[in-house]
Each structure stands twice: as structure tokens, then as C-alpha cells.
Chain A
Amino acid sequence: MKSFIDYIEETFQGEKDDGTLYRYKRMVMDRMTERANEITHAGLQDEQVLYDLVVSEFPRLKENYKKFSAEERAKKREKFLNKFMIFGTVGLILALVIVYLAVSFLTDAWRSTWVIIVDGILAWVVFIMSVFIRRVSGMRRIFHPIARVLLGISVMCVTTVLFLISMAVLHLPNSWLIYPFGVTMIYVADAIYATVTKQKLRIINYLIYIPAAMPMLYVFLGALDIIPWHPGWLLMPLAVLIDLIIVFAKMMSNKKYKYKPEVDAAWNEN
């Protein structure tokens, strides 16, 4: 009678072993032995049946090995990223200080060069948050609100980076306008996130965000003279109109999924 080792070895005959395969074989072997012990404890005495039963619980070993291998690689990447974030933070701070001092001494522009430190740190925070957003998004839906909050904070950090460059380095007038634009971008980013991750009832997000973002957009476009203040205010009723169109379109789309059974009356009688 064949043993579990024979089954595993035969399945992976000719497969290149780079260490990962050994770990996988070991894991499968341990699990098979554990299952065999459990089933024997239950009272099964026929060894052939025991073998067939346990092997039937471990089908498609090769396919599963590919998944295991991919998971191992992902784990390694994650470990590397964790180390990179820890040591990178220290390294980045050192690098930023060196760059800041070097640029400041060379240009003597001390009034502006502090932006290097602040923007550098903010950009690093955005990078770390993007890693967490990706990880949280891979978790159960119940955790997705955390990712959405982090996304909003990230957008605001990017907005601040742009604002500081605009104000302290480029000395542009109306730099503050970047903030209302940033708020609009928070809504846009969250709506995109809801769409990409197929959140339930995301239409409610759209319906709230459109009228909420429009005043910010109005201020931004109006202050930059891209649109006149009057009749630019029409953007607000336009937002309500867009909402109504979305609601109407959704209702029309849902209508074709409405099922009117012929037994409706029978249900009501009860």
C-alpha cells in the first residue's frame, strides 16, 4: 500500500525544489498525518480506506503549491516592506536633514527650505498610509471604513504638500485655494474607492458627495476666474440636478429587475 510520502513525492516528481517546495511538502505531510490520527481515533481500521480518505482531502496538490508559493512570495515582500518602512523612516529623516542643511547653506534660502523637511515627512506618511490602505482593503469589508479614513487623510496630506510648495517656495497668490480643491478631491477619491471595491449602497456616497463637493469646486473655479461668480453659483443647483438624474437612472435600471409574480394575490390572501 502506498504511503502519504509516496503520494506527495509522486505528485511533485520532476518539480524543482528551491526550499519552498520542501516546506510545502512538509506542511502537507504534517496535515495528512494529523488527519490520519484523528480518523484512526474515530475508529477507522481499514488502512486502504484511511489512505484514500485522507488523500481525497488533499486533491490538486500542484495547484495548491502554486498558491502556497505565491503566498510565500507575498509574505516575503510584506516583510521587506515592513523593514523598509521602519528603517526607511530613520534613513529618510537623516537624508531630509542633510538635504535641508545642504540646500539651505548653498542657497541661503532658509525661509523656504524648511518645506523640504515638512513635505518630505508628509510624502513619507502618504507612502506608509498607502501601504496600509492596500492591506486593509484586502481584509473583510467591515474594515474598509478604516481604509477610507486613511485615504481621506492621505489626500489631505498631499494637498498640504502642494499648498506648502505653492505658498513657501513658489509664492503663488491664492495658494489657499488648494484646500477647497483638496476637499473636493477627498470626495472624488472616496467615490473612486467605493466604486473600485464595489461597496454596497455606494450610490448614497455619490448622492451626498456631489452636492457636498460642488461649493468647494465653485470657490476654487470662481477664485481662479475660470468661471464667473455669477452665474457660476448655478453649479449648486446643477449638483442637485445631477443627483436627481442619478436617482432616476438607477430607478429605471432597477425597474427591469423588479419581478411581479402571478401569485402576488395568493401571498396577500395569507
Chain B
Amino acid sequence: MERKLNAELWDKMHYLFRDYNDRMVHVELHYDFELDVDVLKTVLICFFEKAPVLHSSFKDNHVSPYWIVKPYRIDDILSVSYPTDVDSAVNDFLTQYIPPDSDIQMKVAVFFHDGKTTLCIVENHMCMDGGDFKYFLKAFCKNYNDYAERKISPIDLREGSRSYDQVYNDFSKTEQRMARNLYKNVSSKDNHKFPLTPDSIRDRSFIARRKISAEKLAQVKAAGKKHGATVNDMLLTAYFFSLYELANYNAYDSVTIACAIDLRRHLKDVSDEGLTNHTAWMQCNIPERGQTIFETLKYVVHSSNQFKQDKFMGLYGLPLLKLGYNILPHAASEEIIKIGYSNPLLAMSNIGILEVDKLALCGHEPTDGFMTGAVKYKPFVLLSATTLRNVVTLSMCVRGNDEDQKIVEHFFDLMEKNLDTLAQG
């Protein structure tokens, strides 16, 4: 009999984002040994069985969409190869797109080269966000090790509800009622754009990346402490300042960058929750650029502190979305939500630290790697940041041309320059 899964609110929202991005989440990890493909296959099959949404096809039903669980073979998910040009193979793999109506929603590639392994995974954001993807990777490595070293069956993956309203679980009854009444449209209304070229049929997806060294990060952290700023604030400040310069915004213009926030912050224990999305946007706004980058930093710290004081941070708008999807059939509610929702043109997602000890496979910690969000369609951009071995990888996934790639690279140059200035402050 056909098994169906409920399409949760965030599944539908990410499906709606098809006009703005390709909805793929990417990860790349490098290991200095050759991992065991048979073990990998076993772990992957177990995880796919534990999280059936990963081998389900999204059915865009006009009344109420749903997932249909599909049969699969491990070879549909995992590809193993020995490429001569690893970078090119990795890039080709990571920039692929998995359609939501495909039978599987995650693809894994293993590239062997010179006795080393590059592990790449691409998954549909509709299934889970960066927060749960990080958990997935850690659970994957733990289960891989347990199975490879002690023959313990790799079935230790969280299972449970994927519903958006799990975020209210740890609130008191009164707080729950308050949070469920936060009917507010919190979409960004800023029209400042990243200066990319106009859309073209020849555009292709690319992932631009830049590393910030561990030494530089330490300096940035120390400088941030002096100003009462977090690393996130420092990165955001450099982002703002670089944008004013790159796009020639008027220095007195107010600019907003949407920052992804993990709504799991409202949960004490997530052990009985399924893999899902719990991410919202926080609109970080500065009234003007400021005379110096430190003035910009002051504005950023002020703005982010305001949000941090809010006990319902990120929960605004959820009841409105729920209402939108509840009162009308899916096709109609999508149109209504599109009218009220404006996707942020400028966004940042600090995915955080990829802990090498938890991502170690049979005692081999990853030597390098990063995780990044979806490939955005112009004019939308998302700057992702991940930290591995104290090295920050900034990345931007864009569907564009060579000129766009140059613009993004120039933006990273400016980011580096501005982070240098901040580090000296």
C-alpha cells in the first residue's frame, strides 16, 4: 500500500521558495583516508529508512500536498568515483538540483583521490534545514563508527514529528497562547540588491567560497569581545560595509539583511523530533552605513541585541502562515502568501561550527569542509558561513554567469578587507 507523509508547513513554504532558490543544501567534507563504501551504504540505507521523507516524492496536490514514500536502491543515492579532477567533480555534484517530485531527496557522492576521500551530500531543504543537517552528519559519523568498529547496527537517528509547532512545546500554556497569537507579517521590505548582472538563460549554478584563517578569526573574536559583539555580528558588519561599497548604496540609506535563526533555541530537548525545518528570519537593520565600520558594528550590535531580548524571537509570522495554509486550499493559499511574503534580497546564514571530533570517521577527523545553503536565483543572495577547525568558510551559491562570479569574488575580497579592519579595532 502507498505510504503517505504529511506535508508540513515548512515543507510547503520551502516549496513556495522555488521561485527564489533551488532549495538544495550542500555539504562537502574531506578526509585523509578512504572510507568503507559498504559501511557507508549500510548507514545510508538505515538513515533513509529512519527518515522516510528522504525517499519520498512531493505531490503538489492543489488542495493539500503530501509526500509519497517511494522505493529506492542505494545506487540511486550513492555514487562512488575516482575522478582525475576532484574539484570539478565536486563542483558538478554540489550544483545539481533534485526535483521535489523525485523519488529521493538526498544524494551522496564519494570521491576517492590519492588515498583520500571527499564526501559530498546534497539534500532538499524541504526535508530539513542546516540545523538538522548538521545533526544528520554527526549522527551519520557516530553510526558509521559504531558499525565499522563494533558492529552496532546504525539505527540511532532521531524520529518523531516534523511539525512546525514543535517549537512551542517547551513554553508554558500562557506563553504558548501568546506565541500562537503573534500574527505579524515580518517579511523584509528593503529593496537594496546585491549588484549581480540581469538574468540570462545561460546562467548556471556556482558555489563561490572564501576561507577566513583561524588566526584572523581569533583576532576578529577578540576585537568583537571589546565591542560586545559576537562573531556573527562581526561577519554581518563586514557584510553590510562591503555591500555599501560593492553596490554603491547611499551611505545614509537604511539597509536590512535577513539573518537565519534556528528556532530550536526555544526547545530544551529535540531528541523526540523528526528531521525537519525550524528556521526563520531575523531582519537585522541598520539606519545608515555610519562614518566608520565600527559605527556600522554599533548599529548591528544594537539591532541584534534587540532581537535577542525577545523571548519569542523568530516566532512572528508563524501563526499567520499557519492560518494562510489552513483556511484555503494549497493552490489558493500559495497565491495569498506570495502576496504578503517578500523574500529577503540580502540574507545571511551562520550555520555555525562543524565539530571535527563529531564528524570523525574511524578516528579520522575531517581535514576541511563546509556547508552551504541553496543556490539563489538573482537578485536574491545568501551568504553562508561555517566554521571547521576554527577556519570560517564564507560561501555564496548563485545562479549566474562568469561576471557574477567575479562580482561575488570581489565581494569576498571586500569582506576580507573589512574583517581585517574589524580585527584591528
Contacts and interface: CB of A to CB of B under 8 A. Distances in A.
A270 B71 CA distance: 46
A254 to B, nearest CB: 8
A42 B103 CA distance: 13
Given A42-B72, A261-B310, A270-B189, A53 B182 contact: no
B181 interface: yes
A269 interface: yes
A267 B316 contact: yes
Interface residues of A, number: 26
B177 A43 contact: no
Given A49-B154, A258-B181, A262-B306, A41 B71 contact: yes
A49 B71 contact: no
Contacts of A258: 178, 181
B256 to A, nearest CB: 6
B192 to A, nearest CB: 12
Interface string A46-63: 101100110011000000
Contacts of A56: 155
B124 interface: no
Nearest to A39: B49
Interface string B329-359: 0000000000000000000000000000000
Given A263-B310, A266-B307, A43 B178 contact: no
Contacts of B48: 42
Contacts of B306: 262-263, 266
Nearest to A260: B178
B186 interface: yes
B371 to A, nearest CB: 26
A44 B73 contact: no
A149 B248 CA distance: 65
Contacts of B153: 46, 48-49, 52-53
Contacts of B74: 42-44
B292 interface: no
A22 interface: no
B174 A257 contact: yes
A123 B73 CA distance: 61
A256 B179 CA distance: 12
A43 B45 contact: yes
Contact of A262 (B73, B285, B309): B309
B62 interface: no
Contacts of A44: 41-42, 45-46, 74
A42 B71 contact: yes
B365 interface: no
A154 to B, nearest CB: 30
A109 B267 CA distance: 75
B296 interface: no
Contact of B310 (A42, A256, A262, A270): A262
B368 interface: no
A39 B283 CA distance: 44
Contacts of B287: 269
Nearest to B45: A44
A87 interface: no
Interface residues of B, number: 40
Interface string A11-46: 000000000000000000000000000110111111
Given A38-B71, A52-B153, A256-B174, A43 B41 contact: yes
Contact of B309 (A38, A43, A263): A263
Contact of A270 (B72, B73, B285): B285
Contacts of A46: 42, 153
Most buried by B among A42, A57, A254, A266: A42
B189 to A, nearest CB: 6
Contacts of B41: 43-44
A266 B285 contact: yes
Contacts of A42: 45, 48-49, 71-74
Interface in B314-332: 316
A259 interface: yes
Contacts of B182: 259
B42 A269 contact: no
A93 to B, nearest CB: 42
B57 interface: no
A52 B74 CA distance: 19
B75 interface: yes
Given A39-B49, A256-B174, A49 B186 contact: no
Contacts of A267: 184, 186, 283, 316
Interface of B: 38, 41-42, 45-46, 48-49, 71-75, 147, 151, 153-155, 174, 177-179, 181-182, 184, 186, 188-190, 254, 256, 283, 285, 287, 303, 306-307, 309-310, 312, 316
29 contacts: A41-B71, A42-B45, A42-B72, A42-B73, A43-B74, A46-B153, A48-B151, A49-B42, A49-B46, A49-B147, A49-B153, A49-B154, A49-B155, A52-B153, A52-B155, A53-B49, A56-B155, A254-B181, A257-B181, A258-B181, A259-B312, A263-B307, A266-B285, A266-B303, A267-B184, A267-B283, A269-B254, A270-B186, A270-B283
Considering the complex of A and B, which 5 residue pairs feature the smallest CB-CB distances, nearest first?
A43-B74, A52-B153, A259-B178, A257-B177, A263-B306
Given A39-B49, A52-B153, 5 more contacts: A42-B49, A43-B45, A258-B181, A266-B285, A270-B283
